[in-house]
Amino acid sequence: RGKRGRHAGPPPNVMTVLSSDEHRDALVGDIVTDSYGREFSCGKYYIRVSIDALLNILNDPAEAHSHQQIVQVLVTMFRPLPDYCAPFMGRIVPAVLRAMEMAPPSQADFYVDKLGRLVCVSRQLSRPYLEPLFELFDLEASGNEQLQSALVGLVEVLAEALSGDLGSHISTVLPFLMSVIDRDTNESRQVTDRTLHALRILSPSLEGYLFLVMPRLVSLLDLTITPIDVTESTLGCISSIVTSVNCDSFASRIISKLIQLLQCSPMRQLQTLVIDTLCTLMEQLQDEFTLFMPMISSTMKKRGTVDHAKYAEYSRLLFSGRLIPKEAPRVPPFLSGGIIQADAWLGLTSSDGVPKLSMDTTVLRRAWAVDQSLSKGEWTGWLTKFSNELVRQSSSPALRACVSLASKHPKLNKELFNAAFVSCWTELSGQYQQEIVSSLQEVASKPDVPPDVLQTILSLAGYMERDEKQIQIDL
């Protein structure tokens, strides 16, 4: 049916059309050159196609208006697929940093935050690609709380990814963190609070840098300049550091400040936290702590806190030689909250073990159905609707992560079309595969179908044939 008058002789085979000079470059979203001869309808391939398409846009200065959306899509994509996306960090990190350089300064915190989330999801797998990120801590720390907070969050996930060992980079990171504390003039001291959390994560790496950190922490134990909640965070930070590294040289200074804080603390909860911190110091200092116990006991009696059960128990254990120091508990990065691992919500896997999603065939059928009343100008709209639904119903989490942006970005939609089609095709039964081919054949046979719609169908046929999934389209 529907033979075209413009073709002389028998209808050409689709690959004959595609191999002509006119259509040599027509396979948009084609198989990458090193994939010939391999299966490309698999989870890892869809990830590669998706990331390639996104980076093509992210690396294009003319597409700067889309760069933030692209980076957000990458974060969304990584969440269910961390182990499979992490190897692409070597290309993603430089691309995001370039986009950040091109963006207005007001957007810097967005890019730093998203880089942190990418590192947080990919964890230790991102180690080989993190070096450029440490250059960000040379940024001016004053003036922008949002950027400071994002950079502190990045410190946390970098420490997590590197198992707490920042190596030589600790000498870059710590001065940055100290400058954040020094320059925080906000009454709430929220950025200082975030910085204290980061220092807890860095605690095992602080040996040799206590001279830089501890004086600032001790100075924060002053209720006249520090809000109570930040004071509580400071106590937690000191406890983490004392438990992780040898702080004997600062013990007297810390304990003296804790006693002063206990004397002036207006709240029983804060008093309890101060004594808990003293218990941590007792664990670490052992017999040396006894030098401070008379002053501590006297202050506790004045404040009515002599019934602190933990301090009494630790004292008994100390004098009997049975007080054993505990290891510091792990402190997770703030950005790790809400991260969903793939196996927590994806029950299906592709042939190469990559998680995949289920597809709504009923919705997809409505998208590929051909309305006989469509006019010449409406065929492009039909293809756009069909292409959007292929991405939306794709079994690949990587492709599906692109759906919102692809529906508004024709270039991305076009680059993902072939891969999205194959990802849906492989999930369809034989009956529905025949139905979708019939729809494509019907569109290709229409005399008024625009050349770009026809070319997209022919490109798809060639793409499918390379993986031995032939769809017969006659012209």
Quick: pLDDT tens for 131-166: 999 999 975 554 588 999 999 999 999 998 888 778
Say how many C-beta atoms besides its own lie within 10 A of residue 7's C-beta. Answer: 11
Q: What whole-number distance in Å separates Cα of residue 220 and Cα of residue 254?
A: 11
Above pLDDT 90, what percent of the chain?
Answer: 65
- Cα 161 from chain centroid? 12
Distances (CA, A) of 137 to 72, 163, 282, 295: 22, 19, 36, 42
What is this structure's pTM?
Answer: 0.85
Contacts of 158 (CB under 8 A, 6+ apart): 119, 130, 133, 134, 166, 169, 173
3-state SS, residue 356: strand
Residue 13's pLDDT is 38
- Which one, of 126, 123, 43, 110, lies nearest residue 71 by Cα? 110
Q: Could you tell me the pLDDT band of residue 467, with boundaries at 50, 70 and 90?
A: low
From first CA to last CA, the distance across the chain in angstroms is 9
Mean pLDDT of the chain: 86
Tokens describing residue 150: 């994002």
| 392-411 mean pLDDT | 94
Tokens describing residue 295: 């002053």
For 201-224, write each residue's pLDDT tens digit.
999 999 999 999 999 999 999 999
Model confidence at 276: pLDDT above 50: yes
Tokens describing residue 183: 């320059």
Q: What whole-number distance in Å separates Cα of residue 282 and Cα of residue 311?
A: 9
Q: Could you tell me the pLDDT band of residue 464, with boundaries at 50, 70 and 90?
A: confident
Place of tokens 């508990």: 329
CB 453 within 8 A of CB 379: yes
Tokens describing residue 244: 């992780």
Least confident of 9-18, 96-105, 382-391, 426-435: 9-18
Residue 163's pLDDT is 82
Give all strands (DSSP E) within 57-174, no chain letters: none
Place of tokens 């470059």: 25
Contacts of 211 (CB under 8 A, 6+ apart): none
Residue 138's pLDDT is 78
Model confidence at 243: pLDDT above 50: yes
Q: Could you tell me the pLDDT band of residue 338, with boundaries at 50, 70 and 90?
A: low
- Cα 152 from chain centroid? 15
Let me know how many helices (H) and strands (E) the chain has, helices first.
22, 2
Could you tell me the sign of the dihedral formed by the alpha carbons of 450, 451, 454, 459, in that order? negative
β-strand partners of 240? none
Residue 444's pLDDT is 87
Q: What whole-number distance in Å separates Cα of residue 464 and Cα of residue 395?
A: 17
CB 241 within 8 A of CB 206: yes
| 236-243 mean pLDDT | 96
- Which one, of 55, 26, 32, lies nearest residue 44 by Cα? 32
CB 191 within 8 A of CB 153: no
Contacts of 166 (CB under 8 A, 6+ apart): 158, 159, 173, 202, 205
Helix ranges (DSSP H) in 162-267:
170-183, 190-202, 210-220, 228-244, 251-264
Give all strands (DSSP E) within 327-437, no chain letters: 348-349, 355-356
Residue 342's pLDDT is 44
Model confidence at 184: pLDDT above 80: yes
Contacts of 447 (CB under 8 A, 6+ apart): 2, 4, 5
For 347-365, write each residue's pLDDT tens digit.
577 777 788 899 999 999 9
Q: Could you tell me the pLDDT band of residue 436, with boundaries at 50, 70 and 90?
A: very high
What does the DSSP assignment read for 334-377? GGGTT---GGGT--EE-TTS-EE----HHHHHHHHPPPTT--GG
- Which one, of 243, 254, 316, lies nearest residue 283 by Cα? 243
Q: What whole-number distance in Å separates Cα of residue 46 and Cα of residue 399?
A: 7
Q: Could you tell me the pLDDT band of residue 47, with boundaries at 50, 70 and 90?
A: very high
Q: Could you tell me the pLDDT band of residue 332, with boundaries at 50, 70 and 90?
A: confident
Model confidence at 197: pLDDT above 70: yes
CB 107 within 8 A of CB 367: no
- Which one, of 408, 374, 379, 377, lies nearest residue 391 by Cα? 408
Q: Could you tell me the pLDDT band of residue 27, with boundaries at 50, 70 and 90?
A: very low
CB 399 within 8 A of CB 416: yes
148: enclosing H helix or E strand: helix 145-161
